[in-house]
Chain A
């Protein structure tokens, strides 16, 4: 059983559409990170959120940390084919051990 549940598992959309990926848990995290991974490569950090209710924007990507620090969401506006990849959330609970979600595979069709 994974500490962090991501949904949906797969998402396929047309270029220009919006999408949201969710990361939920019953545990409280000191911080939550989002990574993107492309085939054959290692994950790359996109953002870290630390404060409950925090919202961070990275160009067309918006990340939100829940008020209770148990959940997070990633919203992509006007998705482009370059946004295609596996999106992973990871939570830290104050020690070094990160817990990763199973990931959401996003495909943006041109």
Chain B
């Protein structure tokens, strides 16, 4: 199993450009999430999905869109990149659990917006 894969590994965008960060998992997990990680702030939830066709907002959703057409894929779209979106982005997946939602993380995408 590859686990959770993310592409690209690094990306540089100019302000105003759009792009899609790709995420895929081969563990048949129902739950998938996108987080951003900034220095001194831990991981903050952007969007999440509890199954194909179902998505919801997390803590910091503005400027990002998601869709979940299949169980395996959960792309994150930046509509119009801003310097404030410079960050490291992690995709994670999780099996369903009533108590614990243990996350399996991808390797991350380091995004710089100039």
> B74 within 8 Å of A by Cβ?
no
Give A64 to B45 CA distance when docked, in angstroms: 25
Which bracket fits the contact residues of B? 20 to 34
Q: Chain B 76-105, CB within 8 Å of chain A: the 1/0 string?
A: 000000000000001010100011111111
> B106 within 8 Å of A by Cβ?
yes
- A57 smallest CB distance to B (angstroms): 18
Is the beta-carbon distance between A45 and B45 smaller than 8 angstroms? no
> A62 within 8 Å of B by Cβ?
no
Is the beta-carbon distance between B105 and A42 smaller than 8 angstroms? yes
Given the known inter-chain contacts A50-B99, A92-B99, please indicate yes or no for A42 contacting B50, CB distance below 8 A: no
Give A41 to B59 CA distance when docked, in angstroms: 22
> B41 within 8 Å of A by Cβ?
yes
> A59 within 8 Å of B by Cβ?
no
Is the beta-carbon distance between A101 and B99 smaller than 8 angstroms? no
Residues from chain B with a CB closer than 8 A to the CB of A103 are: 42
Residues from chain B with a CB closer than 8 A to the CB of A97 are: 45, 48, 58-59
> B8 within 8 Å of A by Cβ?
no
Is the beta-carbon distance between B50 and A101 smaller than 8 angstroms? no
Give A35 to B92 CA distance when docked, in angstroms: 13
> B31 within 8 Å of A by Cβ?
yes
Which bracket fits the contact residues of A? 20 to 34
Q: In terms of DSSP, what is the predominant structure of the interface of chain A?
A: loop
Is the beta-carbon distance between A43 and B43 smaller than 8 angstroms? yes
> B63 within 8 Å of A by Cβ?
no
Is the beta-carbon distance between A96 and B100 smaller than 8 angstroms? no
B-to-A contact residues, CB < 8 Å: 4, 31, 33, 35, 40-45, 48, 50, 58-59, 90, 92, 94, 98-108
A-to-B contact residues, CB < 8 Å: 2, 4, 6, 9, 30-31, 33, 35, 40-45, 48, 50, 88, 90, 92, 94, 96-98, 100-103
Question: Can you pick out 23 interface pairs between chain A and chain B where the beta carbons lie within 8 Å of each other?
Answer: A30-B99, A30-B100, A31-B99, A31-B100, A35-B103, A42-B4, A42-B92, A42-B106, A42-B107, A43-B43, A43-B103, A44-B105, A45-B102, A88-B42, A88-B43, A92-B99, A92-B100, A92-B101, A96-B50, A97-B48, A98-B45, A100-B35, A101-B42
